[in-house]
Amino acid sequence: MTDDAVAFTAQRPRLFGLAYRLLGSVTDAEDILQDAFVRWSTADQAAIAEPAAWLTRTVTNLCITELTSARSRRERYTGPWLPEPVLTGDGEDLGPLETVAQRESVSMALLLLCEQLTPAERAVFILHEAFGYAYKEIGTLLDRSEAACRQLGHRAAKHLKREALPARFVPADPAEATRWRRLTARFLNAATAGDIAGLEHLLAEDVVSIGDGGGVMPAGLRPVHGRAKVARLFAAFGAALRPESDLPPVIASALGDASRENLRVTEDEVNGSPSLLFWAGDRLLTVFVPVIDGDKITALYGVVNPGKLTAAARQAERP
């Protein structure tokens, strides 16, 4: 491995974590890192005093440019758009995940909220909240003044309106993660049994379910709101695991010619949250990511677009 490749590889997890948080897409983040490596390998590295800062600046600015075109693509997206799910249990792929703020910055809910921000607001917010950069340092990276970056950070926080949302989008500690896993397991059991009353007991009154099929797989074109509707939706979805029941259209379509006997569900940490992965043999069909507040599920994000499941399936297959 060449010296420039060694230096880049040492920074890669942090750079990928930055690009993913800014773009919400594994595919786009990987493309950005490829572009950044080309620029790094052709740069006059002897003249670069701080390689980590140079690479962070390069990746951030490439992402800001990419976000402009990504917004246009997402406006044409069929149905709700959700971030590409990433497994975070081993903490290897997304840079720092030691603090609650760092884990929350990869959560489905926060990444979705970040779609409201301008590219510059999103960059400042992520650099400050997830990576701990001071506004003066961010100004150097973005060629803006410290005051301008501080204003962008305050505007981003105001747009996100966190005070109206659950206290956290991910568990705060191992004990809370255990509680989330238990509640998620109870939810799966109720869905599999078709127990609508049991599902309603686990759901917040104003729960929302958002499905992303991207126009490729059958999925709702609008979010589903309310305890009763979401309970019925997942009771129907759970029918896939009951041999005597008809398959929901989304599962039947995803299965194709594969045998229903190969259907299974595994649990893993996805985007910082204990989540459910729905498989047909070794093919990942769906990822469900919950948000939990206290003892109730407040949101459920379901990614069924197969183009968004490749990275999670690859991660799950690691030894």
Tens digit of each residue's pLDDT (9 = 90 or more) over 219-258? 667 889 999 999 998 988 887 777 666 666 666 666 666 6
Which whole-number Å values give the CA distances from 219 to 237, 248, 255, 273, 302, in the listed order?
11, 11, 15, 22, 9
Specify the pLDDT at position 88: 87
Residue span of the structural domain in which 84 resides = 3-164
Specify the pLDDT at position 3: 64
Specify the pLDDT at position 225: 93
- Verify that 113 and 153 share a domain, yes or no: yes
Residue 108 belongs to a domain: yes
Dihedral sign of CA atoms 163, 229, 170, 102 in order = negative
Kindly report the backbone phi and psi dihedral angles of residue 137, in degrees, each rounded to the nearest multiple of 5, phi listed first: -65, -40
Q: What is the mean pLDDT of residues 99-113?
A: 85
Cα distance between residue 202 and residue 190, in whole Å: 9
Residue 154 belongs to a domain: yes
| Domain termination residue (choose one: 136, 164, 192) | 164
Q: How many CB atoms lie within 10 A of CB 266?
A: 11
For 37-49, the pLDDT digits (tens) are 999 888 887 788 7
Q: What is the mean pLDDT of residues 293-298?
A: 90
| Domain termination residue (choose one: 164, 191, 215) | 164
142-163 burial code (b ≥16 CB/10 A, e <16): bebeeebbbebbebbbeebeee
Q: With a cut of 60, say whether residue 319 has pLDDT above it.
A: no
Query: Which pLDDT band, with edges at 50, 70 and 90, does 89 fall under?
Result: confident
Q: With a cut of 70, say whether residue 85 has pLDDT above it.
A: yes
